[in-house]
Amino acid sequence: MSTFGILGAGQVGTTLARVAVAAGYDIVIANSRGPQTLHDLVRELGPRARAASASDAAAEADFAILAFPYAPDHRLPVEELAGKVVIDNNNYMVWRDGHFPEVDSGRKTIHELRQEQLPDSKIVKAFTHVQFHERHPIRVPEDRQPAIVRLARPAGHPERKALVASSDHPEAVELVTRLYDDLGFDIVDNSPLSQSWRSAPGTPMWSHAVDGQSRDELIRNLQQARHPLG
Ligand SMILES: NC(=O)c1ccc[n+]([C@@H]2O[C@H](COP(=O)([O-])OP(=O)(O)OC[C@H]3O[C@@H](n4cnc5c(N)ncnc54)[C@H](OP(=O)(O)O)[C@@H]3O)[C@@H](O)[C@H]2O)c1
């Protein structure tokens, strides 16, 4: 099994580290403050996990995720991630990140901007509409699990849910297909990256993020999305 570089150790990064280790992946995880701050997490995760600086994690990874918001002035490990599949799970949140005129005008998606930051990597939008925290409101005890755990089902299960992916690189979608499957989800390929606005916050599919949607429902909801600029 290949090494999964998880850059970002907040709600998404730590939860994804737990489910990836449980699925048999080796992970190397980083935050912005340094590996010494991740000692307790790595001890909890066991021998499949280690912590590193963001650049070392990027260098050691076979593929990676950027589990933190987009910012135009980010200094990312561009060379260490060159040639690799890099998952971008950021959602464009104006209240948190401010306005990006190219996205507001509809000229680009937030994920195309990420691809421009890492021109030699294979960016794929994934994991953006599954929650890495407990359900709100809690109805039954299992709602305390993050949705990435609560909604996971084996292939062929009647309640199996699907997650979306968008990329300009088919091999990136293939990798995410395997990863989703290993974690208990089907995939809907909504490529290329320029189409990824169809799964942005506020779209029809987005309103089903809490309890998930089947592959057919997700395809239908993506088709029903209307571009914000008409
Ligand atoms: N939470 C969810 O359920 C969810 C679901 C789908 C998508 N998302 C998206 O996932 C992203 C992360 O969300 P979150 O809730 O996990 O955020 P979060 O809890 O604020 O965590 C962000 C993490 O990223 C780290 N970080 C920031 N800049 C970094 C850099 N340049 N290199 C390495 N690590 C860096 C931070 O490190 P420090 O703590 O050291 O600063 C922190 O560990 C967001 O873009 C969000 O839109 C979230």
Question: Is residue 229's pLDDT more than 80?
Answer: no
Closest approach atom of ligand 1 to CA 132: 3
Q: How far is the CA of 7 from the centre of ligand 1 (A)?
A: 8
pLDDT at 227: 86
| Cα distance between residue 79 and residue 143, in whole Å | 41
| Cα distance between residue 111 and residue 196, in whole Å | 8
Sign (positive/negative) of CA torsion 91, 194, 29, 26? positive
**pLDDT tens by residue, 201-212:** 999 999 999 999
Q: What is the mean pLDDT of residues 87-93?
A: 97
- Whether 92 lines ligand 1, by a CB cut-off of 6 Å, is no
pTM exceeds 0.85: yes
**pLDDT tens by residue, 8-62:** 999 999 999 999 999 999 999 999 999 999 999 999 999 999 999 999 999 999 9
What per-residue string of b and e applies to 159-176 under the rule 16 or more CB within 10 Å gives b? ebbbbbbbbbbeebbbbb
The first and second tokens of residue 99, run together, are: 């306005």
Q: How far is the CA of 158 from the centre of ligand 1 (A)?
A: 32
Residue with CA nearest ligand 1 atom 18: 10
| DSSP symbol at 107 | S
**pLDDT tens by residue, 127-164:** 999 999 999 999 999 999 999 999 999 999 999 999 99
